[in-house]
Amino acid sequence: MSVEPRASKSVPELFGDLMQEATELLRAEGRLIRAELSDKVTQVQIAGGSLAAGAICLLVALIVLAQALVIALAKMMEPGWAALIVGVVLALIGVALLYKGKKNLDPANLTPTRTAEQFRKDSKLVREQTQ
């Protein structure tokens, strides 16, 4: 059995390898943050849709409630109270949609946490490798 001597790399070669791997790591981190930010943009778009839908429902509710108030005051009959119930239900739906949209826009939900965690892990690995 013959044992072949292990080829050792020079310091410049090792440094070159380190720079190449660090560059690739940064590129991978860049791709990861772009993907995660794209997800967050989609989340903002959906939240904006919820806010718009909530605002429209509240506008309709205001119109229906105003109509119900006019009918109730003018006639003091049951059709007005029916319109009032419809208006209240639409208002509750609008409030729920606005709350959901506001919650989705919370800065804690928009932070790219996966990328930050991966960056911390990679930084720790690089520190360990350079020691």
| Rounded distance between C-alpha atoms, residue 31 and residue 45, angstroms | 21
pTM: 0.40
Q: pLDDT digit of tens for each residue in the chain (131 aa)? A: 455 555 677 888 887 888 888 888 888 888 888 888 888 888 888 888 999 999 999 989 888 887 877 777 776 667 777 777 778 887 888 899 999 888 887 777 667 777 777 778 877 777 777 76
Measured CA distances, 96 to 33, 48, 100, 116, 117 (Å):
32, 14, 6, 32, 33
Would you list the domain boundaries of the chain? 34-130
